[in-house]
């Protein structure tokens, strides 16, 4: 198993190019199951999660191949199988996104019911209720969600909780349903908007994406298309914090600053100099230390839960006391215990972490527990005194393309090495 070894203390300086968004690419790939044919998806990041989705597609009867750097060709012509097996769904929860597209495309889906994960229980009750409202017959059998969609028809669906995956699944099922669907309390995330845009390019009739109410008029068929994935806003945010925590000076290229307004506001409040310039962000931290800021995660356009761990890393070395409250997932503070091993002063009370900034962290061996927690440990390692070893970095490979290469280019001392120890 690989680990990262980081020698902290280098200021990050230079330019970094942002990859395509993982959380946009996965539903876009799922959408190709709605209509048989050949698709080209551009700006797809090379990530473990994308490989897992490709494996799932192979099982379903689709062919997925890289035809150029960043371009995936997806041929769903031969898709006949509608069973997403446990072995793949357990590797990646986002496999559940084929629930909506198989339902819409094949009118039948049998998808392994995803279990809990490190950050929370993450039920899919709202996906199921939405599909039932669309006239589907849904049963849970032997660990699988079995959807029969012979009578797929539009409906008014109101989500009790805003759900990104739920909104995406229902949108995908509804585009080929008879009649009109109205989704209330829909997720407004840029990834949901990206999916709506691709579906519209395929001929779907959708209005209101990016607002709380999405209206969909079902059509009889769609057309395969070419589509380009939006830049990864969480990768963008992670590099911004890497700049802040190392008191660096970087230019982030190929990003969409409009997608991370809540984060940019907080980083400015913390003392970072940030200039937006089209698809670039120029960022520098000229102050000696960031000032503490309070954070509360929220659905988009609020502060993203996927940036909570990373901003906590920044707050561990800030001036003052910061309160960080996580409201989306019930167990997304596992990084706090690891950051403490590096000398951070963090007290977790319920879903709030009280972080008292210290002058300096010290390198340590730490364990990555989930994707964004892993990113926060890298950030802490970049500023810590001495050597940090991060074990279990396979979590990072799920969601950050070539992170060590990008960080090295900015001057970080980070190496991927085989871990021969017992702790991996
Ligand atoms: N929820 C329910 N019932 C449901 C669905 C969701 O109670 O049927 C709850 C969840 O338990 C959670 C909240 O609603 O408390 C929001 O969950 P949501 O459905 O929005 O999350 P998701 O679609 O499973 C996506 C991202 C996550 C990101 C969240 C929130 C993908 C593939 N995943 O998950 O990304 O944290 O939205 O923004 O898009 C990550 O990239 O590290 C990651 C975890």
Q: Is residue 329 in contact with ligand 1, taking CB distance under 6 Å?
A: yes
Q: CA 1: distance to chain centroid?
A: 23
Please compute, for residue 102, the number of CA atoms within 13 A of its CA located in the half-sphere on the CB side.
24
- Yes or no: say if 306 and 297 are a contact pair by the CB < 8 Å rule: no
Under a CB-based contact definition with an 8 Å cutoff, are residues 57 and 228 in contact? Answer: no
Distance 165 CA to ligand 1 centre (A): 6
Q: How far is the CA of 268 from the centre of ligand 1 (A)?
A: 27
**pLDDT-derived band at 288, boundaries 50, 70, 90:** confident
Is residue 193 within 8 A of residue 210, CB to CB? The reply is: yes
Angstrom distance (rounded) from CA 209 to CA 204: 12
The finding on whether 30 has its CB within 6 A of some atom of ligand 1 is: no
At residue 419, the pLDDT reads 77
Establish whether residue 305 lines the binding site of ligand 1, counting it when its CB lies within 6 angstroms of any ligand atom. yes
Catalytic choice (117, 136, 225, 255): 117
Mutate to test the pocket of ligand 1, among 124, 130, 158, 161 (most ligand atoms within 8 A of CB): 161
The ligand 1 atom at the shortest distance from the C-alpha of residue 129 is 8
Percent share of the chain, pLDDT over 70: 99
Task: Encode pLDDT of 62-98 as tens digits.
Answer: 999 999 999 999 999 999 999 999 999 999 999 999 9
Q: What pLDDT band is residue 222 in, cutting at 50, 70 and 90?
A: very high
CA of 67 to the centre of ligand 1 (A): 31
Q: For residue 376, with 0-12 CB atoms within 10 Å meaning exposed, 13-18 middle and 19 or more buried, which class applies?
A: buried
Top mutation candidate among 132, 186, 328, 368 for ligand 1, by most atoms within 8 Å of CB? 328
Q: Which strands make up the sheet holding 321-325, listed edge to edge?
A: 295-296, 321-325, 352-356, 345-349
Annotated catalytic residue 255:
no
Q: Is pLDDT above 50 for 277?
A: yes
Share of the chain above pLDDT 90, in %: 94
Site to substitute for ligand 1 among 31, 114, 122, most atoms within 8 A of C-beta: 122
For ligand 1, say whether the CB of 120 is within 6 Å of any of its atoms.
Answer: yes
Separation CA 39–CA 33 (nearest Å)? 10
Q: Of 341, 318, 334, 332, which Cα lies nearest the Cα of 388?
A: 341
Residue 72: what are its φ and ψ, rounded to 5°? -105, 130
- Mean pLDDT, the chain, integer: 96
pLDDT mean over 341-357 = 97
| Dihedral-angle region of residue 343 (phi above 0 means left; psi in -120 to 50 means alpha; beta otherwise) | left
Q: How confident is the model at residue 421 (pLDDT cuts 50, 70, 90)?
A: low
Give yes or no for residue 165 CB within 6 A of ligand 1. Answer: yes
If you ran DSSP here, which 8-state letter would residue 43 be given?
S
Whole-angstrom Cα distance, residue 335 to residue 377? 7
Residues β-bridged to residue 349: 352
CB 152 within 8 A of CB 134: yes
pLDDT at site 424: 43
Is 116 touching ligand 1 by the criterion CB < 6 Å? Answer: no
Is residue 343 lining ligand 1, measured as CB closer than 6 Å?
no
- The verdict on the CB of residue 328 being under 6 Å from ligand 1 is yes
399 CA closest ligand 1 atom index: 41
pLDDT above 70 (res 10) = yes
Ligand 1 center from residue 299 Cα (angstroms): 10
Q: Does 164 contact ligand 1 (Cβ within 6 A)?
A: yes
Distance from Cα 161 to the centre of ligand 1, integer Å: 10
Whole-number pLDDT of residue 154: 98
Cβ of 163 less than 6 Å from ligand 1: yes
From the CA of 347, how far away is ligand 1's center (Å)?
25
Ligand 1 atom closest to the CA of 234, numbered from 1:
41
Does 124 contact ligand 1 (Cβ within 6 A)? yes
pLDDT digits (tens, 9 = 90+) for 109-139: 999 998 777 888 899 999 999 999 999 999 9
Largest CA distance in the chain: 63
Q: What is the pLDDT of residue 422?
A: 56
Average pLDDT of the segment spanning 387-393: 95
pLDDT at site 107: 97
Nearest residue (by CA) to ligand 1, atom 14, is 163
């Amino acid at each position: 198993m690989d680990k990262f070894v980081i020698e902290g203390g280098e200021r990050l300086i230079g330019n970094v190019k942002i990859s395509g968004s993982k959380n946009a690419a996965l539903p876009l790939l799922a959408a190709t199951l709605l209509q048989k044919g050949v698709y080209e998806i551009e700006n797809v990041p090379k990530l473990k999660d994308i490989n897992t989705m490709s494996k799932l597609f192979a099982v379903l009867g689709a062919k997925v191949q890289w035809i150029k750097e960043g371009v995936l060709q997806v041929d769903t012509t031969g898709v006949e199988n509608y069973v997403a097996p446990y072995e793949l769904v357990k590797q990646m929860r986002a496999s559940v996104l084929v629930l909506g597209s198989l339902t819409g495309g094949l009118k039948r889906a049998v998808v392994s019911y995803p279990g809990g994960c490190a950050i929370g229980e993450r039920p899919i009750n709202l996906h199921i209720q939405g599909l039932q409202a669309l006239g589907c017959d849904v049963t849970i059998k032997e660990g699988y969600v079995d959807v029969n969609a012979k009578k797929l028809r539009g409906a008014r669906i109101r989500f009790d909780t805003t759900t990104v995956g739920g909104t995406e699944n229902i949108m995908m099922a509804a585009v080929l349903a008879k009649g009109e669907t109205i989704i209330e309390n829909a997720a407004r995330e840029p990834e949901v908007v990206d999916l709506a845009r691709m579906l519209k390019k395929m001929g779907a009739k959708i209005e209101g994406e990016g607002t709380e109410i999405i209206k969909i008029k079902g059509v009889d068929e769609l057309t395969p298309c070419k589509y380009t994935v939006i830049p990864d806003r969480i990768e963008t945010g992670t590099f911004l914090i890497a700049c802040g925590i190392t008191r660096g000076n970087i230019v982030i290229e190929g990003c969409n600053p409009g997608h991370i307004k809540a984060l940019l506001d907080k980083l400015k409040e913390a003392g970072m100099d940030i200039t937006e310039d089209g698809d670039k962000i120029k960022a520098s931290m000229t102050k000696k230390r960031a000032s503490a800021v309070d954070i509360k995660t929220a659905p988009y356009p609020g502060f993203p839960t996927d940036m909570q761990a990373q901003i906590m890393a920044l707050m561990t070395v800030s001036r003052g006391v910061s309160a960080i409250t996580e409201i989306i997932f019930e167990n997304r503070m596992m990084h706090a215990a690891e950051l403490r091993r590096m000398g951070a002063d963090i007290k977790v009370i319920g879903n709030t972490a009280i972080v008292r900034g210290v002058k300096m962290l010290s390198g340590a061996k730490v364990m990555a527990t989930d994707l964004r927690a892993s990113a926060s440990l890298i950030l802490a390692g970049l500023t810590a005194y001495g050597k940090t070893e991060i074990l279990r970095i396979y979590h990072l490979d799920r969601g950050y393309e070539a992170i060590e290469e990008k960080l090295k280019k900015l001057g970080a001392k980070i190496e991927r090495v085989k871990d021969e120890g017992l702790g991996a």
